[in-house]
A and B are shown apart, each in its own frame.
Chain A
Amino acid sequence: STGDSWGIFTFLCAALCNLPALPALNCSEELGAGQSIQQTYDLTRYLEHQLRTLAGTYLNYLGPPFNEPDFNPPRLARVERVPSATVDLDLWRGLTDNARLAANYRAYSRLLCYLRVLDGQVGTAELRHRLAHFCASLQGLVLSIGGVMSSLGYPLPTGPAGPPAPPGAPVAPNDFLKKMDDFWLLKELQTWLWRSAKDFNRLKKKVPPAVVTLRLEARGF
């Protein structure tokens, strides 16, 4: 099915590019974006799968009650360091492609930073290995999203990629609170990956065929 629509699009693109009356459509950019979006979508699904194993191992390392299925501790009112994936549904629907992509890009850049800090502190060799592997994949996702943005002509979000450190306030004042932070980091990662799949699904439907149809109508075909 994706193959068929791909073939149709390529044909249309080639046909349009050959008509002398039309300004040359820069087909390669849209082609690139479409493929990148699919890749990014696939990456989020893969990461989601990887996270399940990583989270299982990590929560076992934290010990009960963190690894209990119904564990739901309060998010204590401390510095909100991890960007939240949950957003109002209408707000989410109304996001422009640029805003949608930028939100994903910013979120994963931040999450990657926090995960890397975790990597430095964690005890067992097995966990460090899994974390390193996950961070590498997550880095791939960030780059992939950046690639999609560039191919669609959007600028990459600027600003601090690292965790903001308010002066004087420690990241986590004790070991138990740090465990809670780690728990919420993993939860937020999970939520973001679920959300990203929906984000990229939406983008997939919007980018290549829709662009071409609009242009055909404008020319009175």
Chain B
Amino acid sequence: IPLSVSPAADPAVISPQDPTLLIGSSLVATCTVSPDFPLKAEDLYWTLNGRRLPAASYATLGPSTLSVALARLNGSRQQSGDNLVCHSRDGGILAGSCLYVGLPPEKPVNITCWSKNMKDLTCKWAPGTEGETFLHTNYTLKYKRRWYGQDNTCQEYHTAGTYSCHIPKDLALFTPYEIWVEASNRLGVAVSDVVMLDILDVVTTDPPSDVHVSRVGDLEDQLSVRWSSPPALKDFLFQAKYQIQYRVEDSSEWKVVDDVGNQTSCRLAGLRPGTVYFVQVRCNPFSIYGSKKAGIWSDWSNPTAASTPRSERVAGGCDPKGGEQNTTLRRELKQFFGWVKKHAYGCSNLGIKLYDQWRVWLQKSHKTRNQV
């Protein structure tokens, strides 16, 4: 049988109980011992977040009432509120009050939204400034169709990070939406600027599927990439453009191939022989229902790996070194020819181009010689 006791049995009462305050404000709190308890004001002391407050800040307001003065309060140490506690001399807790000290929220900013295959809408935003209000701040994403009164509230939060929300259905196409975010905490409310968009302007899709990377015969410097367009595109009148990025296995630098167009295959050239490459493809649905606008790039497909073949021929010992020498030599030659052009008017045929042609000829004859 549960014991039900009236609140008067609490040993003491603190006032104010659980106040909300602006940073920098001051507060005078009082602790009044209940008449049932044999304690006097001089038997009491205060702590804030476990730290004893100096007796100099206390004042006796009555036989069983002690006050404490807190000046220029800092932002709350934890979002659940600072713990201001009234103790009896032996350390026992008589009563407590949670202080919520902070700032009102700032306007949320940078609202960006995207729709997956025109079926839903996900938006994310950033809190104003660094977002440190010291108080728990609630964010609500709202949206409505322009010219059609009713406000709607987004329900599914944190789907794409802390400050995000997902609207899964009942979205109309060919109509502008107004979207905004309201931030609220104990000290106030702030509303972001309204963003206006049409779902068709922010469409993205799934990454391409079935990405295959294979060698091109024996060619050492090429790989062929093939993929399938995302299935969702079939349902809507999208065209698609693709982008490929690839990198060498032990490098973190991606090279991007931008002009793939709407084909579902591409050949990468100029690669290093005998090297493992990681390749990813992504898709952008554009020209939705005939508009020329681009959509939003999909995520990259999972990386696919393949290696270029390495030929049997032994790499000439001189080649790598020679390459380094060539660049310095070439630079010097360029400078020389530049000087010649300026000061010796007759030799206009001499130039770096001629030197390059000579180098190509040199490499070709080098190769045929080695293949024998």
Q: Which of B122-171 contact A (CB under 8 A)?
A: 136, 158, 162
Interface stretch, picked from B88-96, B220-228, B268-276, B316-324, is: B88-96
Question: In the complex, what residue of chain A is closest to B77 when comparing beta carbons?
Answer: A63
Distance (whole angstroms) from the CB of A44 to the closest CB of chain B: 26
Contacting pair B7 A63 (CB below 8 A)? no
Q: In the bound complex, how far is the Cα of B5 from the Cα of A177, in angstroms? A: 14
Contacting pair A166 B18 (CB below 8 A)? no
Contacting pair A179 B47 (CB below 8 A)? no
Distance (whole angstroms) from the CB of A166 to the closest CB of chain B: 6
Chain B residues whose C-beta falls within 8 Å of the C-beta of A76 in the assembled complex: 9-11
- Interface of A: prevailing SS: loop
Contacting pair B97 A176 (CB below 8 A)? yes
Chain A residues whose C-beta falls within 8 Å of the C-beta of B136 in the assembled complex: 123
Q: Identify the interface centre among A76, A79, A81, A125: most chain B CB within 10 Å of its CB.
A: A76
Asked whether any CB of chain B lies closer than 8 Å to the CB of A153, the reply is: no
Q: Which of A66-88 contact B (CB under 8 A)?
A: 66, 68, 73-74, 76-81
Asked whether any CB of chain B lies closer than 8 Å to the CB of A62, the reply is: yes
Asked whether any CB of chain B lies closer than 8 Å to the CB of A65, the reply is: yes
Chain B residues whose C-beta falls within 8 Å of the C-beta of A174 in the assembled complex: 17-18, 97-98
Distance (whole angstroms) from the CB of A9 to the closest CB of chain B: 44
Asked whether any CB of chain B lies closer than 8 Å to the CB of A173, the reply is: yes
Interface stretch, picked from B57-65, B79-87, B236-244, is: B79-87
Q: In the bound complex, how far is the Cα of B7 from the Cα of A77, in angstroms? A: 9
Number of A-B contacts (CB under 8 A): 80
Contacting pair B7 A175 (CB below 8 A)? no
Distance (whole angstroms) from the CB of B305 to the closest CB of chain A: 34
Contacting pair B50 A78 (CB below 8 A)? no
Chain A residues whose C-beta falls within 8 Å of the C-beta of B3 in the assembled complex: 77-80
Q: In the bound complex, how far is the Cα of B257 from the Cα of A127, in angstroms? A: 44
Chain B residues whose C-beta falls within 8 Å of the C-beta of A65 in the assembled complex: 47, 49-50, 83, 85
Contacting pair B79 A61 (CB below 8 A)? yes
Q: In the bound complex, how far is the Cα of B17 from the Cα of A73, in angstroms? A: 19
Known: A80-B2, A125-B162, A164-B2. A176 touches B80 (CB 8 A): no
Known: A65-B47, A79-B3. A179 touches B98 (CB 8 A): yes
Known: A77-B9, A125-B158, A174-B97. A61 touches B80 (CB 8 A): yes
Q: Identify the interface centre among A61, A64, A79, A180: most chain B CB within 10 Å of its CB.
A: A64
Contacting pair A176 B96 (CB below 8 A)? yes
Asked whether any CB of chain B lies closer than 8 Å to the CB of A150, the reply is: no
Q: In the bound complex, how far is the Cα of B43 from the Cα of A147, in angstroms? A: 55
Q: Identify the interface centre among B78, B85, B95: most chain A CB within 10 Å of its CB.
A: B78
Q: In the bound complex, how far is the Cα of B85 from the Cα of A22, in angstroms? A: 71
What string of 1s and 0s marks CB contacts (under 8 Å) between A112-131 and chain B? 00000000000111000000
Contacting pair B98 A123 (CB below 8 A)? no
Chain A residues whose C-beta falls within 8 Å of the C-beta of B49 in the assembled complex: 63-65
Contacting pair B92 A74 (CB below 8 A)? yes
What string of 1s and 0s marks CB contacts (under 8 Å) between A39-62 and chain B? 000000000000000000000111
Q: In the bound complex, how far is the Cα of B259 from the Cα of A88, in angstroms? A: 79
Distance (whole angstroms) from the CB of A140 to the closest CB of chain B: 25
Question: In the complex, what residue of chain B is closest to A66 when comparing beta carbons?
Answer: B83
Known: A65-B50, A65-B85. A179 touches B7 (CB 8 A): no
Distance (whole angstroms) from the CB of A84 to the closest CB of chain B: 12
Contacting pair A74 B93 (CB below 8 A)? yes
Asked whether any CB of chain A lies closer than 8 Å to the CB of B291, the reply is: no
Q: In the bound complex, how far is the Cα of B18 from the Cα of A40, in angstroms? A: 42
Asked whether any CB of chain B lies closer than 8 Å to the CB of A169, the reply is: yes
Chain A residues whose C-beta falls within 8 Å of the C-beta of B78 in the assembled complex: 60-63
Contacting pair B80 A62 (CB below 8 A)? yes
Known: A74-B92, A176-B83. A81 touches B2 (CB 8 A): yes
Chain A residues whose C-beta falls within 8 Å of the C-beta of B327 in the assembled complex: none
Of all A-B residue pairs in the complex, the 8 with the closest CB atoms, nearest first, are A64-B50, A176-B96, A63-B78, A65-B50, A175-B98, A175-B18, A123-B136, A64-B49
Q: Can you list 30 A-B pairs, Cβ within 8 angstroms, ordered by A?
A: A62-B83, A63-B49, A63-B77, A63-B82, A63-B83, A65-B47, A65-B49, A65-B83, A68-B50, A76-B10, A76-B11, A77-B5, A79-B2, A79-B3, A79-B4, A80-B2, A166-B2, A173-B7, A174-B17, A174-B18, A174-B97, A175-B18, A175-B80, A175-B98, A176-B83, A176-B85, A176-B98, A177-B96, A179-B80, A179-B83
Residues of A within 8 A of B (CB): 60-66, 68, 73-74, 76-81, 123-125, 164, 166, 169, 173-177, 179-180
